[in-house]
Structure 1
């Protein structure tokens, strides 16, 4: 079975679950809309006292919020399996995945797909709509470049969490470690350029949030040259290469350890 067919099967299954638990979906959607309104009010109050924050206007902040929620939606839809790898390792559920004729990580990724992530997509559209009404326009080509940055950023984050999750082969639960990193997500709602250069460096090579909101927004707003865009894409690809090699090494060594204990 090809990975495309496997993806379709899991997508259909997840869609059926979404229909079955439509009340939970509606409640989550209501919560998402309420949070969206609160966010509008918060930033409206902030910009009631200033015209810009370190060069960022209200409309541009709304655009940044839109890209950040778009990134969160993409990540949670397909890639957040990496945050739960310790579950299948500690509980022995990895045996089930290893018995399938497909890569166990890809099988687990499809298994953990979350269609409820569509709620963040709705939030993203809400922010984009507000930004558009505030006079912020984005050419389609620039938006495509921003989307490319976001997708690569999601891959970097996934590989990082895959490495952390694979450490469960040696230390058991890694949930607390990942929660520490997740707590940094809170800065995703703010442009990285308002922070010090050291913090920006950490958000580039530590937790790649800057690739998922600030850089995409700057690209969309036409504040980035083609050379800068190419440089950022090159950095993302280099980080993907480094983290991919580390993830493969740690995962394979972990599997050997798992097998030696009767897994």
Structure 2
């Protein structure tokens, strides 16, 4: 199989990506895709593209993804997902950037979720299934598809019996919060949230719930969508993932007590974020959360 070839117009005619044809069987099969767990970038590429230094190449090839989604008919990678804590320190962030550069050069779209709570082993598969479904829906939502609303806005029956957006990744967490409130284990039944999209950078989603009067459990998730779209706004998706993280933390209420944030402190954090609105793609739409 040849490497990337260029047509006379300069477009890419072949891929630097190597089909997955060997190794463990896929963990999921869905809508014409198969998903493999724990694959290194080095297993997915063939040859070093022009413009990539030897150091970038050797560093990136060691990086791994929690899920790699391939076309079921060809085995060729379609996108990869990585769920991890934010890189600790400049060296780790530099290594992450080198991986991003190499993935862009070989044409591998990547979704990277940064969270101190979510983990690839526990959450990557559900996220991949959601993204595949959203992409499939978006592919048929043009004028000929006949869909009048976006995937995230489809209304149906929620886990707690209410009506609402059934394609909200945080729906289970929101239902669990209502249940905990009814059982008088939480001070408020609502998971609140907001999101922004940094210009030229990641989407960032926040979700929180008032666990004790005036004391909140806060989760923040970063979502880097590199050459990737699934028809759901990345900011909204990051906020929904933050709600998922809230639900995970609430499994052990005793453990979250030391990390609760005073409501006034949370409001101050949101105000500081709002003050940077010029750095956001689309501005800041959550001033109402900053008011006293």
| TM-score after normalising by structure 1 | 0.25
From the CA coordinates, give the structure whose radius of gyration is larger. Answer: 2
Q: Which structure carries more relative contact order (alpha carbon 8 Å, separation 6+)? A: 1
Identify the structure with the greater helix proportion. Answer: 1
Quick check: which one's strand share is greater?
Answer: 2
